[in-house]
Amino acid sequence: MIYHKASESRSTKGFTMTELLASITIVGILSTIAIPSHMNQVDKTKQNEAVSKVAQIQTTIATYADEFGSLPTSWKELNDTSAIMTTNGPANQNNFEPITLAGSKYKAAIKNTDNRFTIVAVRPNTQSIDSDACTPDTTIEGCREINFAQCVTELHSNANPAITQTMCGRLPIVACLNLTNGASDIDKIKEIGQITPPNCG
């Protein structure tokens, strides 16, 4: 008489359809939890990298004022003290219009009133702009530049600014430097709406 072990015949069959579907479901659930968390962490890392570059710009402005006894009026002048690197090499514009900071996806611009500088950095591709929001003769990229300029003005001019994702995108950075009293501050903005800007007196 021949006996067959049930476990041997079962082991050659592999996974059942039920087991396979259960495994796929579990992996899917874990992915929906892990991927957004991972992407948020990546965004925060990029913001932290840009914060260090904005802090360098603050230091360079103060160093320029100490060394030359006057206020800088352009990225090109700041390069006389320390190179502000962009994706295309040192920033050499004769103004403080937006530049793309090297090693990050952020664009930075500076606004100055008397001795108080405001540095704003945003990620342009996170601004929620569609073609309907632009005028017929303006591209979406042009709309982003216009909205970025509004973001800089709002954060520089208003004591209690209100920002939108269309203006400033996700996770913008704002810093200030007051050369009259030596105060400086920098904020990583996590929310949109009414915010408390950095305080430089």
The string of pLDDT tens digits covering residues 142-157 is: 888 999 999 999 999 9
The pLDDT of residue 130: 72
The string of pLDDT tens digits covering residues 41-98 is: 777 778 888 999 999 999 999 999 999 999 999 999 998 888 899 988 899 999 999 9
Domain boundary assignment for the chain: 16-194
Provide the pLDDT confidence category of residue 17 given band limits of 50, 70 and 90. Answer: confident
d(CA 197, CA 151): 12
In 10 A of CB 32, how many CB atoms? 9
Give the DSSP letter of residue 21.
H
d(CA 99, CA 52): 16
What is the pTM for the complete model shown?
0.79
In 10 A of CB 14, how many CB atoms? 8
Q: What's the angle, vertex CA 159, arms to CA 155 and CA 161, rounded to 5?
A: 45
Q: Which residues contact 23 (CB under 8 A, 6 or more apart)?
A: 15
